[in-house]
């Protein structure tokens, strides 16, 4: 019995050490604990350099900060959550790369200097978190979109322009969707944003799904890499926004 008690003590103390080491945020952000609680569901968390978040260190244009998340060094990725600690709406996107490289690029609106994080859930139930610090003069989330100011957003809504590239063992698609992506933080303009996009093969196999949130930039430009796709098969995309508008696109080989 004593032995068992000792064992439990050892386990608890090693777990405590383990846990302590894991939750030390490299950016020492006061928001980290809240972010962890809000998005990472109490699962174990590791700050992991294999999750690369590439972005300039200064937000030249706070309305559109480019980010590439590359977690291709991790195997069996189930989900990638992207958030910025100090944004009024921190959650930027949730990506489910079923049959895809764990890599994506997007642009987002930043309200003030903040870490941007990519938390990558692997199939062992561990979140691997990478990030970068972005300095900003700010204001990206509370400024009306250009389309609202010019007034022509409705004419272009849902137009999609893009291209597909074939590389050995993978396909890359990049595209732009005309959409104001209103945050709801500008007086008199309710939140209006693309909520979800899904990608599948012509044969109906799901490649990936992404949920987008208010901070994604106006007229989003997104980049995805799909592996093991049939080079002669068309990649299909379908999606919708929070007002029920539906979008679809075809990326032919």
Helix (H) or strand (E) holding 6: helix 2-22
Q: Toward other proteins, which CB reaches closer, 43 or 54? A: 54
On whether the CB atoms of residues 118 and 51 are closer than 8 A, the answer is yes
Q: Toward other proteins, which CB reaches closer, 68 or 142? A: 68
Q: Toward other proteins, which CB reaches closer, 66 or 184? A: 66
Q: Toward other proteins, which CB reaches closer, 64 or 111? A: 64
Q: Toward other proteins, which CB reaches closer, 22 or 201? A: 201
Residues found in the chain:
253
User: Minimum distance from CB of 114 to other proteins (Å)?
Assistant: 16
User: Minimum distance from CB of 227 to other proteins (Å)?
Assistant: 15
User: Minimum distance from CB of 160 to other proteins (Å)?
Assistant: 4
On whether the CB atoms of residues 192 and 145 are closer than 8 A, the answer is no
User: Minimum distance from CB of 163 to other proteins (Å)?
Assistant: 6
Q: Which residues bind other proteins (CB under 8 A)?
A: 54-56, 60-61, 64, 66-68, 105, 107, 137, 158-163, 165, 172, 174-176, 221, 223, 247-251
User: Minimum distance from CB of 153 to other proteins (Å)?
Assistant: 17
Residues with Cβ within 8 Å of 213's Cβ and at least 6 positions away in sequence, in order, are 89, 91, 92, 93, 193
Terminal alpha carbon distance of the chain: 67
User: Minimum distance from CB of 161 to other proteins (Å)?
Assistant: 4
Say whether 26 sits in a helix, a strand or coil: coil
Residue 110 and residue 113: Cα distance in Å, rounded? 7
In this structure, the strands spanning 127-134 and 45-47 are: parallel
Residue 250 and residue 163: Cα distance in Å, rounded? 10
Residues with Cβ within 8 Å of 12's Cβ and at least 6 positions away in sequence, in order, are none
Say whether 252 sits in a helix, a strand or coil: coil
DSSP 8-state symbol, 146: H
Q: Toward other proteins, which CB reaches closer, 33 or 60? A: 60
**Tokens 């068309």 identify what position?**
234
Q: Toward other proteins, which CB reaches closer, 41 or 248? A: 248
User: Minimum distance from CB of 102 to other proteins (Å)?
Assistant: 15
Structure-block tokens of residue 79: 């989900």
């Amino acid at each position: 019995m004593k032995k068992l008690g000792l064992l439990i003590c050892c386990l608890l103390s090693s777990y405590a050490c383990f846990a302590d080491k894991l939750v030390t945020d490299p950016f020492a952000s006061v928001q980290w604990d809240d972010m962890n609680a809000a998005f990472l569901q109490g699962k174990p968390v590791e700050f992991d350099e294999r999750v690369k978040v590439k972005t300039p260190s200064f937000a030249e244009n706070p309305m559109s900060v480019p980010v590439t998340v590359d977690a291709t060094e991790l195997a069996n990725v189930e989900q990638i959550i992207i958030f910025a600690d100090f944004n009024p709406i921190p959650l930027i996107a949730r990506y489910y790369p079923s049959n895809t490289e764990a890599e994506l690029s997007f642009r987002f609106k930043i309200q003030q200097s903040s870490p941007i994080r990519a938390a990558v859930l692997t199939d062992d139930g561990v979140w691997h978190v990478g990030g970068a610090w972005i300095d900003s003069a700010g204001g990206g989330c509370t400024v009306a979109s250009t389309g609202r100011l010019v007034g022509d957003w409705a004419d272009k809504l849902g137009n999609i322009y893009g291209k597909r590239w074939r590389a050995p063992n993978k396909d890359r698609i990049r595209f732009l969707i005309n959409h104001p992506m209103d945050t709801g933080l500008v007086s008199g303009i309710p939140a209006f944003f693309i909520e979800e996009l899904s990608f599948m093969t012509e044969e109906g196999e799901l490649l990936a799904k992404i949920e987008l949130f208010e901070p994604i930039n106006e007229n989003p430009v997104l980049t995805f890499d799909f592996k093991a796709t049939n080079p002669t098969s068309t990649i299909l995309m379908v999606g919708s926004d929070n007002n029920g508008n539906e979008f679809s696109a075809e990326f032919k080989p």
